[in-house]
Structure 1
Amino acid sequence: MRPPERRATGRPRAARTARLLYGASLAAALVVPSAVPAQAAPVPRTPAADGAKGQELPGMPTALDPRAEAVACTPASKEQAKKQDWSRQRLDLDRLHRHTTGSGVTVALISTGVDPGAEGLDGRVTAQGQAADDCVGQGTFLAGLIAGAGGPTPRLAGVAPGAKILALRGTDRRGQPDPALVTAAVRAATTAKADV
């Protein structure tokens, strides 16, 4: 009996594929049910958990209004985070980054696309075709949370600021989920041998 095919990391291909599928299904479970038109109701602001006077960050739509005749893309926010929010504090990213930054890891992100020129991603995004057009903004936002460098404020870097992002589209341009696109994206991530 032949041993399972392994990469240089020593992990069996089946385990790597299972981890990739698990990550994709988790992302789909988090993103797909919450995809509501951005103009159906005002997007709430997300407060920091360090008290009533904490920094509030702008809300992020998951989809644009499918009934609108013209697509009006989400403009980039002019607000900048000035301190860590509660989630980063709970994850203790400063301590994590002393051990690893995700360098050498490729994360497949199936979402609304990712703007390859977004600030803080420093040319670490591979996005081809429609995946390079993020009209909604959610995919670019998520890419920043995953692999953002933090710019002049390294304490605001993402979970893995040394990782690369493989951007894949799982929605139409307005952010409406499409099962066929998600399926094709999972296959593309597997073919590209993304690590996560």
Structure 2
Amino acid sequence: MRPPARLLHGAGLAAALLLPAALPAQAAPPARTPADLYAADGKKGQELPGMPAAFDPRAEEALCTPASKEQAKKQDWSRQRLDLDRLHRHTTGAGVTVALISTGVAPGAAGLDGRVTAQGQAADDCVGQGTFLAGLIAGTGGPTPRLAGVAPGAKILALRGTDRRGQPDPALVTAAVRAATTAKADVIAVAVALPRKDTALTRAV
């Protein structure tokens, strides 16, 4: 009998989000992150572009987040703390499908190597957050394997839990959870925060 899918949210998903992107596919809004953070070797960490979670719903037009030209060059403390190099000697997640419920995922993003299946509008990731998270989960690291994601051999099933501007929608999250279950995903990662409890979503979970 196939084991039930694991649903990641809250602390479980937060642990995965501590990891650097394999190859940041979409991350370049005007705001910059502070550069006073230190890497595992004690030297000042690399300054990378900020990442929007959603666009202003009041704006007349939303300009999609462009792909970042910057790449992480070394491991940070969080990745070393999780000891992914050692983990990857035992497993890379090959044969595992992770359903990612977020803003969508760009199927052709660098480092995902054609392992993304996007249902419906989930292939259109205007915000970029879902593509970034997919890199954290299953990115290969491209020419820098030591910067690969948690499971660089896994496949991503992209599902939209927001509108195109990244605004959360409980009905879309509910439908996505059901779609992930129907597709028999091994892991369901929900990266959408809803402001209040939703009965239909509770039933789907």
TM-score range, shorter chain: 0.7 to 0.9
Aligned in 2, Cα 1:40/1:190: closer, same or farther, shift over 3 Å?
A: closer
Once the two structures are TM-superposed, the CA of residue 118 in structure 1 deviates from its matched residue by 0.2
Closer, same or farther: CA 54–32 of 1 in aligned 2, 3 Å = closer
Spell out, residue by residue over 1:154-185, the C-alpha distance to the aligned partner (whole angstroms, 9 max, x if none): 00000000000000000000000000000000
- Return the offset for 1:20: 3.2
Higher relative contact order (CA 8 A, sep 6+): 2
Match of 1:11 in 2: none
C-alpha change, 1:168 and 1:24, in structure 2 (3 Å) is farther
Change in CA separation of 1:119 and 1:30 when aligned onto 2, cut-off 3 Å: closer
Q: Given the superposition, is the C-alpha separation of residues 160 and 181 from structure 1 closer, same or farther in structure 2, using an over 3 Å criterion? A: same
Aligned to 2:20, the other structure's residue is in SS state helix
Question: Is 2:138–2:150's contact at 8 Å kept on the other side of the alignment?
Answer: yes
Give the number of the structure whose residues are more often helix, by fraction: 1
Taking structure 1 as the reference length, the TM-score comes to 0.78
SS of corresponding position for 1:66: coil
TM-score (norm 2): 0.74
8 Å CA contact 1:20, 1:194 repeated in 2: no
In structure 1, the partner of 2:17 is: 30
CA contact (8 A) 1:37 1:62 kept: no
**Shift in Å at residue 57 of structure 1?**
2.0
Q: Residue deviations 1:37-75, cap 9 Å, x none?
A: 999998764564654622122211100111110121011
Q: Secondary structure at the match of 2:63?
A: coil
**Matched residues in 2 for 1:35 and 1:157: separation?**
5
**Separation (CA, whole Å) in 1 of partners of 2:57 and 2:144:** 37
**Mapped partners of 1:37, 1:66: distance in 2:** 25
Contact 2:98 2:154 (C-alpha < 8 Å) held by counterparts: yes
Contact preservation (8 Å) 1:106, 1:166: yes
Please say if residues 118 and 159 of structure 2, whose CA atoms lie closer than 8 Å, have aligned partners that are also in contact: yes
The RMSD of aligned alpha carbons is 5.6
Q: For the structure 1 residues 33 and 81, does the alpha-carbon distance in structure 2 shift closer, same or farther, using more than 3 Å as the test?
A: closer
The CA distance in 2 between the partners of 1:177 and 1:35, in whole Å, is 26
Give distance in 2, aligned partners of 1:151 and 1:37: 11
CA distance in 2, matches of 1:172, 1:138: 13
Deviating more after overlay: 78-87 vs 133-142? 78-87
- Quote the Cα distance in structure 2 between the aligned partners of 1:190 and 1:67: 34
> Displacement of 1:2 after TM fit?
16
Whole-angstrom distance in 1 between the partners of 2:89 and 2:20: 35
For structure 1, the residue ranges without an aligned partner over 5 or more in a row are: 5-17
The answer to whether the Cα contact below 8 Å between 1:60 and 1:138 also exists between their aligned partners in 2 is: yes
Aligned residues: 183
Task: Tell which deviates more after alignment, 147-156 or 33-42.
Answer: 33-42
Report the CA distance shift for 1:28/1:174 in structure 2 as closer, same or farther (over 3 A): farther
- Report the 3-state secondary structure (helix = DSSP H, G, I; strand = E; otherwise coil) of the residue aligned with 1:95: helix
